[in-house]
A and B are shown apart, each in its own frame.
Chain A
Amino acid sequence: MDKFVVLDGLVAPLDRANVDTDAIIPKQFLKSINRSGFGPFAFDEWRYMDVGQPGQDCTNRPLNPQFSLNQPQFKGASVLLTRQNFGCGSSREHAPWALLDYGFRAIIAESFADIFFNNCFKNGILPIVLPTQVVDKLFSETLATPGYRLIVDLPNQVVRTPGGEAIPFDVDAFRKECLINGWDDIGLTLRHADAIHAYEERRRHEQPWLFAK
């Protein structure tokens, strides 16, 4: 998992509440054999005028001009700004995979669905909960300012605006440590690599047949 320390990123607005994981990545993509490559299909039904299929080349698909992320000024965004209960619905880990592959590393919302919230941390995405008034303000600044960027400073737990404002946010201490160090579950287990090696050596000695090739 990539580390998350300080992110200086372009902001893209998605002004909807209750965005569910089916909207983030529709069910036909669950048959895929990959965990990357979902980026072009993120928000597929909103983003395109046709219906996407796994493995399809999306470069020439008709875009929905109404969809905010399709507007050129938000191209390359890495901070998603959205509303309450983001990521509700099915538990598919394909949803954070799709957002990550799209390029998002931080999501700011009024609230998140529980499983999605957890899945974000497992995949190196930082979900940030901010009060409604603050989110409102960020929406109006994003829409009013071309190239609007935010600095998400995880060690100091603040979001810095171009105007110099520092907005504090909460994050679980353990998860913060994992993100800053780039530890996923595997990374955490690998902190015990010495113990695994030691166990393995003992076992190789006691039950050599388990290691025969």
Chain B
Amino acid sequence: MAKTLYDKLWENHLVRQEDDGTALIYIDRHLVHEVTSPQAFEGLRMANRKAWRIESVVATADHNTPTDGWEKAEGTACIDDEISRLQVDTLDKNIRANGALAYFPFKDVRQGIVHVVGPEQGATLPGMTVVCGDSHTSTHGAFAALAFGIGTSEVEHVLATQTLVSKKSKSMLIRVEGPLGKGVGAKDIVLAIIGKIGTAGGTGYAIEFAGSAIRGLSMEGRMTICNMAIEAGARAGMVAVDDTTINYVRGRPFAPKGSGSGSDWDKAVAYWRTLHTDEGAQFDKVVELDARAITPQVTWGTSPEMVIGIKDMIPDPAKEQDPVKREGMERALAYMGLNPNTPIAGVPVDKVFIGSCTNSRIEDLRQAAAIVRGRSVAANVKLALVVPGSGLVKRQAEEEGLDKIFKAAGFEWREPGCSMCLGMNADRLSPGERCASTSNRNFEGRQGPMGRTHLVSPIMAAAAAVAGRFVDVREVL
């Protein structure tokens, strides 16, 4: 029978299944960070259990780590916030006590946002199940992996049993066909998808992204798309394996080794080539988008589905029939300090954030730097931040001179971490401040209490920094 990619990944990891569909799924890769793991390690210790296969664990600190001031003290002593420091130190202690395949502690050059680090190290491979106590684990689906976020008790469950109790989701195909316009990229595609299906559109589904527009993306772009599958309500998003996937994985530290037939690498590639949806396989739901119709996107509200094209007008709640939606729109506009029926282009910004597991990879930084080169951050912009996704991304960018371009323009060039994506460290919005952000969540208070977040692509954020307001990046390219 013809199978979807999701069917194949699911069946391949099935340890056992009850009659009611409750299944035990084997977990290949367990990514661990400092915020959601401490209670899980403690639970393990209290129950006198050992980790089932600690070599499945790849750990790093990212959420709490400061992005500047690293030099002011040794190790974690430079983390001012005591609770943050304790969480980072606790991760350290837990990994030292339990072990791991790999651990990239605070300040290691390979440290960074866990969803950037996994793929970069080749610790995320096609055909794997990948879990992490973090909802944006969907990112790793870009490698045709079954990847999803879990809670702290599940983190402990995976540590102790290498499995999860789960039920199969429904399947959704989102096909994006056609050439992308100039200045339009992965972030715009995924925002347009969420705008179309809504933040609950993918609830209960595993989404496969396909079509020529997706095939044409780099791995970085595919990760951006899968990263935000969770923002469309789906715990997992995925893209089939092709040459782009295999070329990205080749030679990475934890990728299969060897060459020639019989080597791990060749066996792996042969298997990976089967990781696509078969001709004629059925999905529970299919959504189609025309890539030609997608323009640079900007969110105007407090949910990722509140999104429009840069040339569009801010929507008018009065035109909304559904009273619940209308009220939501009114509340969002009031929070965001915006007026309906006015253009989003031209709205001034106070801060600009280029970073997060959605858009902090080398390609994102290259594209943003290309816009910034030879220009400077507008006078009304109080802070423009670039936070690379990992120490290695940072080093690569510096080798290419991107840091100089950003700094010359007036950007701050920071150390890697989650940073202003969620404001658990010191990087935050102040009340009322408006931010052009390449992150993934524009919820109320996400980047700081009463802060106003507009989600955009890296080049749109760069263009906003230079202009001091939202502009159509296609006009400055």
Contact partners of A203 in chain B: CB under 8 A: 26
Most buried by B among A54, A196, A200, A208: A196
Partner of A200, one of B26, B42, B46, B160: B26
Q: Is B271 a contact of A184 with CB atoms below 8 Å?
A: no
Residue A173 CB within 8 A of the other chain: no
Given A33-B39, A199-B26, A207-B127, decide whether A186 and B161 contact each other with a Cβ distance below 8 A: yes
Tell me whether chain A's interface is mostly helix, strand or loop, or mixed: helix
Contact partners of B163 in chain A: CB under 8 A: 189, 196
Residue of A nearest to B44 (CB): A186
Q: Is B42 a contact of A35 with CB atoms below 8 Å?
A: yes
Residue A34 CB within 8 A of the other chain: yes
Residue B87 CB within 8 A of the other chain: yes
Given A36-B42, A189-B161, decide whether A209 and B256 contact each other with a Cβ distance below 8 A: yes
Q: Is B38 a contact of A186 with CB atoms below 8 Å?
A: no
Given A192-B16, A196-B26, A196-B163, decide whether A36 and B264 contact each other with a Cβ distance below 8 A: no
Q: Is A212 a contact of B161 with CB atoms below 8 Å?
A: no
Residue of B nearest to A97 (CB): B39
Contact partners of A31 in chain B: CB under 8 A: 83
Contact with B along A169-213 (1 / 0, CB 8 A): 000000000000000111001101101100110010001111111
Most buried by B among A33, A36, A195, A208: A33
Q: Is A35 a contact of B46 with CB atoms below 8 Å?
A: yes
Contact with B along A29-53 (1 / 0, CB 8 A): 0010111100000000000000000
* CB within 8 Å of A: which B55-74 residues: 55
Given A31-B83, A192-B24, A210-B125, decide whether A185 and B153 contact each other with a Cβ distance below 8 A: yes
Partner of A33, one of B28, B86, B128, B267: B86
Residue B313 CB within 8 A of the other chain: no
Q: How far is the CB of B221 from chain A (nearest CB, A)?
A: 26
Q: How far is the CB of B52 from chain A (nearest CB, A)?
A: 8
Residue of A nearest to B265 (CB): A209
Q: Is A210 a contact of B15 with CB atoms below 8 Å?
A: no
Q: Is B26 a contact of A212 with CB atoms below 8 Å?
A: no
- Interface size of A by CB at 8 A reads 28
Given A185-B153, A200-B26, A203-B26, decide whether A34 and B38 contact each other with a Cβ distance below 8 A: yes
Contact partners of B52 in chain A: CB under 8 A: 196
How extensive is the interface on chain B, given as a class?
A: 35 or more
Partner of B42, one of A34, A208, A210: A34
Residue A93 CB within 8 A of the other chain: yes
Q: Is A186 a contact of B47 with CB atoms below 8 Å?
A: yes
Q: Is A186 a contact of B49 with CB atoms below 8 Å?
A: yes
Q: How far is the CB of A138 from chain B (nearest CB, A)?
A: 31
Most buried by A among B43, B156, B256: B43
Contact with A along B259-302 (1 / 0, CB 8 A): 00000110110010000000000000000000000000000000
Given A33-B39, A195-B15, decide whether A200 and B162 contact each other with a Cβ distance below 8 A: yes
Contact partners of A186 in chain B: CB under 8 A: 47, 49, 156-157, 160-161
Residue A6 CB within 8 A of the other chain: no
CA distance A159 to B18 in the complex (A): 35
* CB within 8 Å of A: which B100-157 residues: 101, 125, 127-128, 153, 156-157
Residue B373 CB within 8 A of the other chain: no
Residue of B nearest to A193 (CB): B161
Residue B90 CB within 8 A of the other chain: yes
Residue B334 CB within 8 A of the other chain: no
Contact partners of A93 in chain B: CB under 8 A: 153
Residue A23 CB within 8 A of the other chain: no
CA distance A103 to B86 in the complex (A): 27
Most buried by A among B46, B165, B265: B46
Contact partners of A54 in chain B: CB under 8 A: 83
Q: Is B87 a contact of A33 with CB atoms below 8 Å?
A: yes
Residue B311 CB within 8 A of the other chain: no
Q: How far is the CB of B30 from chain A (nearest CB, A)?
A: 12
CA distance A187 to B460 in the complex (A): 50
A sample of 9 inter-chain contacts (CB < 8 A) reads A33-B39, A35-B42, A189-B161, A192-B24, A196-B162, A200-B162, A208-B267, A209-B265, A212-B254
Known: A210-B125, A212-B257. 15 other contacts (CB 8 A): A33-B42, A186-B160, A190-B160, A192-B24, A193-B161, A195-B15, A196-B15, A199-B26, A200-B53, A207-B268, A208-B264, A209-B125, A209-B268, A210-B128, A212-B254
Closest 4 CB pairs of A and B: A209-B256, A33-B38, A209-B264, A35-B39
